[in-house]
């Protein structure tokens, strides 16, 4: 007997999740709300993001969508509401149903025309091409199969901008449910693993009630939990001689890329990881040690993220006698001067050996000239195309 479906359907689109997520929303955010229920929380979201923000509210039940549309009229932020099955977020099902009522499909040609109509509908959707700040999903995933869940998470990830947040309020079970359930929620661990597999980082629980909301006949407990994750860990790993220290209290912690941070130890990190750690949800647990050398991104070499290493304090606090070795390449025959070497001289770059004929040789640059050479070189000789191949470790 399916005893869970009524309870799960009651939870879906409850509208109770938004109150847990307000701290994750900011003025000017573009927010997608899936299963916004009766829209009772839209006004709270609108107040949080303000008139410069924007809400996209999708609902799978027509009666709830109608109530959401009425609530939207009183919101401070603009609200776009439409009917959706959550599997094709840009297809307005109201318009699809109206089209099919007046254009029944009786032939292959009719099917082609319907496909063209759907494509036009997607292009006209307010969501088309938008990069969202946050996505709130309230009870959406319980009614989907595993493949559909993975497909929807991948779609939501794609629609978020870098630094965007996914905010889930879902029913989960602590152990497998009896067979024959019409609607089966995620198991606790599977929900977190699904977010990891969708490439979110900084995944964490916001709310996990100690008491279960209901039980299955086999004793499995169900509860409504809130979780969050972030987008934006893609990108090159560049060496800028930065470090972080994990404050504790745990002996060590590991992030979503497998970096292990022992308590109290200076750990070398790439520029991308350093910037991620400087934001929520990591920033309050770490001490940040910027590099004294301030290597420009355009001259930063690759950082090996395959293993974690301690950072020598001299690399972050600086050493007046340190030399920063850089291997460079310059085009032969600079069009703006007699030689590439003349351009380097004009930029006041100190070097011991720089090849100007097209072959690669090592050059040494004093890091404390950083305020002059990276920028003056580009200003005075923009066509020299000085391209760094490798940045070496500072030598004491």
Q: Would residue 226 count as lying in a domain?
A: yes
Phi/psi of residue 320, nearest 5 degrees = -55, -25
How does pLDDT run along the chain (396 residues), one tens digit per residue?
Answer: 444 544 455 455 555 667 889 999 999 999 999 987 666 688 889 999 999 999 999 998 888 888 888 888 888 899 999 998 898 999 899 999 999 999 999 999 999 999 999 999 999 999 999 999 999 999 999 888 889 999 999 999 999 999 999 999 999 999 988 877 767 889 999 999 999 999 999 999 999 999 999 988 888 999 999 999 999 988 899 988 899 999 999 999 999 999 999 999 999 999 999 999 999 999 999 999 998 777 777 777 888 888 889 998 877 776 555 444 443 433 333 444 444 444 444 333 333 333 323 233 344 333 333 333 332 233 333 344 443 333 333 333
The residue segments making up the domain with residue 164 are 5-90+125-230
Q: Is residue 108 part of a domain?
A: no
- DSSP-derived 3-state class of residue 369: helix
- Looking at residue 385, its pLDDT comes to 43
* Domains of the chain: total: 3
Q: Distance between CA atoms of 304 and 385, rounded to whole angstroms? A: 26
Q: Within this chain, do residues 73 and 220 fall inside the same structural domain, yes or no?
A: yes
pTM of the full structure: 0.78
- Tell me, yes or no, whether 195 and 250 share the same domain: no
* Residue 63 and residue 187 share a domain: yes
Q: How far apart are CA 254 and CA 259, in angstroms?
A: 5
Q: What is the pLDDT of residue 168?
A: 96
Give a yes or no: residue 118 inside a domain. no
299 and 198 share one domain:
no
Q: What is the pLDDT of residue 135?
A: 97
- Let me know if residue 248 belongs to a domain: yes
DSSP string, 275-318: HHHTSTTTGGGEEEE--SS---GGG-EE--TTS--BPPHHHHH-
Whether 274 contacts 283, CB under 8 Å: no
Residues 208 and 276 in one domain: no
> Has residue 98 been placed in a domain?
no
Residues 281 and 253 in one domain: yes
Cβ count within 10 A of residue 272: 19
The CATH number assigned to the domain holding 29 equals: 3.40.50.150
- Determine contact, residues 164/234, Cβ cutoff 8 Å: no
Domain boundary among 173, 200, 230: 230
Among 212, 230, 248, the domain boundary falls at: 230
Residue 46 lies in a domain: yes
The strands making up 286-289's β-sheet, listed across from edge to edge, are: 266-269, 242-246, 286-289
According to the model, what pLDDT value does residue 382 have? 36
Same-domain check for residues 335 and 373? yes
Does residue 148 sit in the same domain as residue 292?
no
pLDDT for the residue 354: 32
Residues 374 and 249 in one domain: no
Q: Residue 312 is part of a domain; what is its CATH number?
A: 3.40.5.100
One domain for residues 261 and 198: no
Q: Are residues 140 and 289 in the same domain?
A: no
- Where is the domain boundary, 317, 341, 367? 317
- State how far the Cα of 112 lies from the Cα of 21, in Å rounded to an integer: 42
Nearest Cα residue to 146 out of 100, 187, 201: 187
Does residue 120 form part of some domain?
no
In the chain, DSSP assigns E strands to 30-34, 54-59, 79-83, 132-138, 160-173, 186-187, 201-207, 214-215, 221-230, 238-239, 242-246, 252-254, 260-262, 266-269, 286-289, 301-302, 324-329, 361-365, 387-391
Within a domain: 96: no
Both 19 and 83 in a single domain?
yes
């Amino acid at each position: 007997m399916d005893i869970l479906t009524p309870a799960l359907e009651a939870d879906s689109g409850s509208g109770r999740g938004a109150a847990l997520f307000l701290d994750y929303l900011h003025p000017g955010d573009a927010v997608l709300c899936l299963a916004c229920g009766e829209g009772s929380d839209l006004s709270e979201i609108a107040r949080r993001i303000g008139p410069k923000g924007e809400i996209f509210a999708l609902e799978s039940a027509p009666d709830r969508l109608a109530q959401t549309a009425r609530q939207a009229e009183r919101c401070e932020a603009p609200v776009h509401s439409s009917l959706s099955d959550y599997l094709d977020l840009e297809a307005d099902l109201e318009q699809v149903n109206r089209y099919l009522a007046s254009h029944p499909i009786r032939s292959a040609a009719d099917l082609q025309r319907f496909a063209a109509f759907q494509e036009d509908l997607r292009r006209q959707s307010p969501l088309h091409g938008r990069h969202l700040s946050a996505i709130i999903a309230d009870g959406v995933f319980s009614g989907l199969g595993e493949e559909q869940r993975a497909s929807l998470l991948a779609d939501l990830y794609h629609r978020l901008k870098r630094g965007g947040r996914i905010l889930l309020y879902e029913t989960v079970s602590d152990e497998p449910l009896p067979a024959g359930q019409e609607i089966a929620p995620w198991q606790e661990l599977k929900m977190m693993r699904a977010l990891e597999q969708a490439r979110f980082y900084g995944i964490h629980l916001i709310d996990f009630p100690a008491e279960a909301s209901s039980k299955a006949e086999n004793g499995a407990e169900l509860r409504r939990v809130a979780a969050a994750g972030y987008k934006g860990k893609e990108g090159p790993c560049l060496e800028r001689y930065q470090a972080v220290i994990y404050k504790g209290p745990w002996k060590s912690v590991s992030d979503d890329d497998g970096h292990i941070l022992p308590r109290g130890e200076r750990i070398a990190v790439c520029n991308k990881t350093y910037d991620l750690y400087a934001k929520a949800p990591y920033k309050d647990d770490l001490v940040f040690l910027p590099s004294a050398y301030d290597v420009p991104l355009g001259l930063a070499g690759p950082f090996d993220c395959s293993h974690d290493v301690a950072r020598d304090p001299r690399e972050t606090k600086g050493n007046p006698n340190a030399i920063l070795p850089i291997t460079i390449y310059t085009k032969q025959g600079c069009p703006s001067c007699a030689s590439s070497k003349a351009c380097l001289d004009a930029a006041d770059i100190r070097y011991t050996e720089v090849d100007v004929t097209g072959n690669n040789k090592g050059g040494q640059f004093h890091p404390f000239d950083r305020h002059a050479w990276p920028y003056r070189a580009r200003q005075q000789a923009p066509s020299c195309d000085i391209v760094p191949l490798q940045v070496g470790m500072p030598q004491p």
